[in-house]
Amino acid sequence: MPVVPATEASIRRAADIVRRGGLVAFPTETVYGLGADAFSATACARIFEVKRRPRFDPLIVHVEGEEDLPSVCAFEDERARRLALSFWPGPLTLVLPRAERVPDIVTAGLSTVAVRVPSHPVARALLAAAGCPIAAPSANPFGYISPTLASHVDGQIGDQVDLILDGGPCTVGVESTIVDLSSERPALLRPGATETERIEALVGPLERPARSDAPRAPGQLASHYAPRTPVVLLERRAFAPPHGTRAGLLAFGTPDAGMASRYTAVETLSVSGDLREAAANLFACLHRLDRAGLDVIYAEPVPDEGLGAAIRDRLGRAAAEPR
């Protein structure tokens, strides 16, 4: 089996695999990533093959620190420096002009590259040991629920990965926020684990481009993060599913006991209504509901503030009809 506990020895082994052009799944604070040497077009092509990811969808490049950025991107924008100082290492991705060395397959042929500095100690140790930037989307089949446990990775693509580093549950649980700084006005390409309000306090209002079939960064497609089971977004809590339906409930806050009894399976994001706890639990709850043999998953509304915006974004894409 390719799953091994993340230790100094296994991280060195994983780094050697990356340097030799292999694929390694590893934990970040957001979700588990499927990583390859960002400077190897051949290695990055394997990411697309394993995930069955369309080539028009760019990858995020992970680096250990600011000193590694010149080989990947132009890091001269004062706005980028301000955001990096405040949020790196952490769950913020910046889209910046790319360096020539970055292969076209990583950027989907765009003149920009998405880059971030992760905070998870295993991810940072792997980057240090590998000695190269690592391109890493989420370690799951394209469009499906992101993995927040090593077992999620193993159950979906484990037989196609050279090694899975098990660093336990991801602490944040939703992907990074993506901000495009390649033009005069910064743009929010994907809400995520770094709250938009905190970013705007440093760089001003963010444009919010419409969803596109030609994305400038990962996670922009209308249908994404989706379980196999259909997801329906509720406008209110305490909804009773139709009789005879094997329905699951993704609850926010303490579920109504009477209504909950009408569901075949119930998962609660946060009993207390804490948005950070809800974000950390989101994908794991969806994975469990998707394995429960349900006809449909009903998702209760989440406040549209702070991390709630990222949760609502993921649930909205999970509920969207694939095109």
The alpha carbon torsion through 108, 99, 188, 120 (nearest 10 deg) reads: 100
Cis? peptide before 89, omega within 30° of 0: yes
pLDDT at position 267, please? Answer: 97
Q: What is the Cα Rg of the chain in Å?
A: 19
Asked if residue 279 has pLDDT above 50, the reply is yes
The pLDDT tens digits for 169-227 are 999 999 999 999 999 999 999 999 999 999 999 999 999 987 665 677 676 666 678 89
The pLDDT tens digits for 213-271 are 567 767 666 667 889 999 999 998 888 899 999 999 999 999 888 888 999 999 999 99
Judge contact between 216 and 247, C-beta under 8 A.
no
DSSP letters for 254-317: SPPHHHHTTSSEEEES-TT--HHHHHHHHHHHHHHHHTS--SEEEE----SSTHHHHHHHHHHH
pLDDT at position 219, please? Answer: 64
Q: How confident is the model at residue 322 (pLDDT cuts 50, 70, 90)?
A: low
Coil/strand/helix, residue 190: strand
Q: Which helix (H) or strand (E) holds 197?
A: helix 196-203
Same CATH topology for 3-203 and 231-319: the answer is no
Looking at the domain that runs over 231-319, which CATH code has it been given? 3.40.50.11030
Asked if residue 323 has pLDDT above 60, the reply is no
pLDDT at position 214, please? Answer: 63
CB within 8 A of 31, min separation 6: which ones? 138, 139, 146, 147, 148, 170, 173, 174, 175, 283
Q: Which CATH architecture has domain 3-203?
A: Alpha-Beta Complex (3.90)
Report the pLDDT averaged over residues 267-292: 97
pLDDT at position 212, please? Answer: 60
Coil/strand/helix, residue 319: helix
The pLDDT tens digits for 38-90 are 999 999 999 999 999 999 899 999 999 999 999 999 998 999 999 999 999 99
Q: How confident is the model at residue 4 (pLDDT cuts 50, 70, 90)?
A: very high
Query: 3-state SS of the chain: helix, strand, coil percent to 5?
Result: 35, 20, 50
CA 39 to chain centre: 21
Coil/strand/helix, residue 227: coil
Structure tokens at 146: 């992101």
pLDDT at position 226, please? Answer: 86
Report the pLDDT averaged over residues 120-131: 98
pLDDT at position 255, please? Answer: 87
The pLDDT tens digits for 139-155 are 999 999 999 999 999 99
164 compared with 320, residue with greater pLDDT: 164
Structure tokens at 1: 């089996």
Tokens 């209110």, residue located: 236
- Sketch the domain layout of the chain as residue ranges: 3-203, 231-319
321 compared with 197, residue with greater pLDDT: 197
Structure tokens at 250: 């993704």
| Cα→Cα distances 143→26, 110, 224, 319, Å | 19, 21, 4, 12
Residues facing residue 4 across a β-bridge: 165
Asked if residue 309 has pLDDT above 80, the reply is yes
